[in-house]
Amino acid sequence: MRSRNAYRLFLTLVLTVAMAVPFVTLSRNVSAAPTNAFFGAIFTSLGDGTSVNANLYDNKCDVYLNGGPQNVNSTGLPDGTYYFQVTDPSGATLLSTDFASCRQVTVSGGKISGAAGPCPHPIGTPNSANGSTPVLLCPFNDTPNNGGEYKVWLIRKTSTTTIAQDGIHINFKSADSKTDNFKVKAVECDPNDPECVPPPPQANLSGLKFYDADADGQLDPNEAGIPDVRIDIYVNGSFFITVNTDPQGAWTVTVPSGATYKVCEQLPNVVCPTNPAQTYWVQTAPAADSNNERCYSGAANEDVVGLNFGDICFHPASCGFTLGFWSNKNGQAILQANDPAWRNCINSLCLSNYNGTPFKVSTTDPFAKAYGAFRTWLLSGNAVNMAYMLSVQLIATTFDVKFRCLERGQLVDATSLGLGIITIGSVMNAANTELCGTGGNLTFSGNPLRDDEEILKNFLDDVNNNRLPFASSTPCTVCYPEVIVQP
């Protein structure tokens, strides 16, 4: 009776634990054995599909993943796509070193039918006994187990199976996995062993994400790297992985040697809480191709460096003051405090009157008289003679730079005006050059110079009214709408 009661207590404990813990979710550091909820079996073999010495191999690169029915009466694996990985026997340490997207196999007819993904592992000779196809497990690191023991995992690709942000670790439920243990005698592959297949050659792609403060599309010595920017890599025409730039803005990815690649950045375009409203980024490097893409592409026949991406961010403008400001008492007070400097500003430019005659102010008249003449000219500006309207906007911008906080070197996004990213000073110079040139001071309708002057006038008008976005001298905070989700 005592032994029967003990047995009942044992059953009660087992059932209680089983009901309380229905499954275990395994992630980057796997520490629990799988429950193996799906049917079928996996095993390891040599490259010709034959198993050896109870899962004991001479070299790491002798070991191939196999799976499916080993005879006609055995149950096959569910058809679909799977990942595989190699760990230590406990499953706590991931030993596979390449990206999870490379470690994919397909199952068809209940057995492994080949490798998959943009950078598939080499396959061996299909097993004539059961038709399964062996897939090389290399590359993977040495096991910390003193007995040279490893564990291989086959993981179903389901809606709950995801790739971690590093692209190497796999997050999955234990019920979606199967395992098999094996041992290796030697650490390295013996080149004299005909059965030993070394891991496929690889190449590194690398570059820098930098803040292109002068928007020239070139990495300058004083331009800093930008961390946490996403770089998308495609291999052999398929998505491979997304990586984040490191704290110095650098990134690197290992791909199969000889593979074709395409590398693009995900432009940060989401406003962060620490960024001003309407902040946005513009990519400046590499140059756009015929499809208006700013990506790199080529063949990874060797390591490829210098795949650099440049960005600059823009925010709402400030420091522009309009014609109305310079004609009211606030502007008047500033000019009076800076007399005669404001008169010298006017007289140094080729400003035009409505009739094309030069506009100048007296250097000897009292301030009130000189300012009065200037104010009348400023407020009378109109576009009948486009040179006149360009002149009044030019002097307002000149005063904004000379007496307020606007800077000639400020970069402005004037793409909407067809000028691209340009400095305020370069447009001011162009406007004055136009007004100084032959015919530039009298541009009525029909004058061939009028259209160019109107573009310059619109730019200066927009700057004075703070309508064009200004570039930030330092990187804005990088934000994206969501975390990286690997397919």
Q: Report residue 118's pLDDT band, with 50, 70 and 90 as the boundaries.
A: confident
Q: What is the mean pLDDT of residues 34-53?
A: 74
Q: Report residue 28's pLDDT band, with 50, 70 and 90 as the boundaries.
A: very low
Cβ atoms of 471 and 403 closer than 8 Å: no
Report the pLDDT value the prediction gives residue 311, as an integer from 0 to 100: 97
Say which residue, 116 or 28, is predicted with more confidence: 116
- pLDDT tens digits for 446-470? 999 999 999 999 999 999 999 999 9
- Side-chain half-sphere of 83: how many Cα atoms within 13 Å? 25
Strand 170-173 relative to strand 202-211: parallel, antiparallel, unpaired?
Answer: unpaired
What is the chain's mean pLDDT, rounded? 87
Q: Report residue 185's pLDDT band, with 50, 70 and 90 as the boundaries.
A: confident
Would 84 be classed as within a structural domain? yes
Q: Report residue 69's pLDDT band, with 50, 70 and 90 as the boundaries.
A: low
Q: What is the mean pLDDT of residues 368-385?
A: 97
Is 175 in the same domain as 218?
Answer: no
Is 77 in the same domain as 150?
Answer: yes
The last residue of a domain, from among 184, 216, 244: 184
Report the pLDDT value the prediction gives residue 200, as an integer from 0 to 100: 76
Is 232 in the same domain as 296?
Answer: yes
Report the pLDDT value the prediction gives residue 50, as an integer from 0 to 100: 79
Is 166 in the same domain as 268?
Answer: no
Would 9 be classed as within a structural domain? no
Q: Per the structure, how many domains does the chain have?
A: 3
User: What is the DSSP track for 11-38?
Assistant: HHHHHHHHHH----EE-SS--S-----S
Would 12 be classed as within a structural domain? no
Angle of CA points 9, 10, 14, to nearest 5°: 115
Q: What is the mean pLDDT of residues 345-360?
A: 97
Would 4 be classed as within a structural domain? no
Domain carrying residue 48: 18-184
Q: What is the mean pLDDT of residues 66-74?
A: 69
The total of other beta-carbon atoms located within 10 Å of residue 421's CB is 19
Is 132 in the same domain as 279?
Answer: no
Out of 30-44, 122-136, 421-435, 439-453, which region has the weakest mean confidence (pLDDT)? 30-44
Give dist(CA 43, CA 295) in Å, integer: 42
Q: What is the CATH number of the domain that holds 256?
A: 2.60.40.10
Would 197 be classed as within a structural domain? no
Give dist(CA 298, CA 286) in Å, integer: 14
Report the pLDDT value the prediction gives residue 485, as an integer from 0 to 100: 42
The total of other beta-carbon atoms located within 10 Å of residue 211's CB is 23
Q: Report residue 261's pLDDT band, with 50, 70 and 90 as the boundaries.
A: very high
Out of 79-88, 164-173, 185-194, which region has the weakest mean confidence (pLDDT)? 185-194
Is 150 in the same domain as 25?
Answer: yes
Q: What is the mean pLDDT of residues 123-137?
A: 84
Contacts of 4 (CB under 8 A, 6+ apart): none
Is 384 in the same domain as 253?
Answer: no
Give dist(CA 29, CA 161) in Å, integer: 15
Would 315 be classed as within a structural domain? no
Of residues 175, 173, 147, 169, the one with CA closest to residue 94: 169
Whether residue 19 is predicted with pLDDT greater than 60 in this model: the reply is: no
Cβ atoms of 364 and 431 closer than 8 Å: no
Q: What is the mean pLDDT of residues 207-224?
A: 96
Q: pTM score > 0.75 for this model? A: no
Is 441 in the same domain as 361?
Answer: yes
Give dist(CA 310, CA 173) in Å, integer: 40
The last residue of a domain, from among 276, 310, 344: 310
Is 368 in the same domain as 458?
Answer: yes
Say which residue, 249 or 67, is predicted with more confidence: 249
Q: What is the mean pLDDT of residues 216-237?
A: 94
Strand 170-173 relative to strand 162-163: parallel, antiparallel, unpaired?
Answer: antiparallel
Whether residue 64 is predicted with pLDDT greater than 70 in this model: the reply is: yes
Would 13 be classed as within a structural domain? no
Out of 102-106, 272-276, 296-300, which region has the weakest mean confidence (pLDDT)? 272-276
Would 377 be classed as within a structural domain? yes
The total of other beta-carbon atoms located within 10 Å of residue 266's CB is 14
Is 134 in the same domain as 40?
Answer: yes
Report the pLDDT value the prediction gives residue 191, as an integer from 0 to 100: 67
Report the pLDDT value the prediction gives residue 224, as an integer from 0 to 100: 94
Whether residue 201 is predicted with pLDDT greater than 70 in this model: the reply is: yes
Q: Report residue 120's pLDDT band, with 50, 70 and 90 as the boundaries.
A: confident
Is 373 in the same domain as 299?
Answer: no
Q: What is the mean pLDDT of residues 340-367?
A: 97
Q: What is the mean pLDDT of residues 114-124?
A: 88
Report the pLDDT value the prediction gives residue 194, as an integer from 0 to 100: 66
Report the pLDDT value the prediction gives residue 428, as an integer from 0 to 100: 98
Q: How far is CA 108 from CA 76, 80, 85, 298, in A?
A: 9, 7, 20, 33
The last residue of a domain, from among 310, 344, 360: 310
Report the pLDDT value the prediction gives residue 270, as an integer from 0 to 100: 83
Report the pLDDT value the prediction gives residue 441, as an integer from 0 to 100: 95
Is 366 in the same domain as 279?
Answer: no
Whether residue 10 is predicted with pLDDT greater than 90 in this model: the reply is: no
Whether residue 2 is predicted with pLDDT greater than 60 in this model: the reply is: no
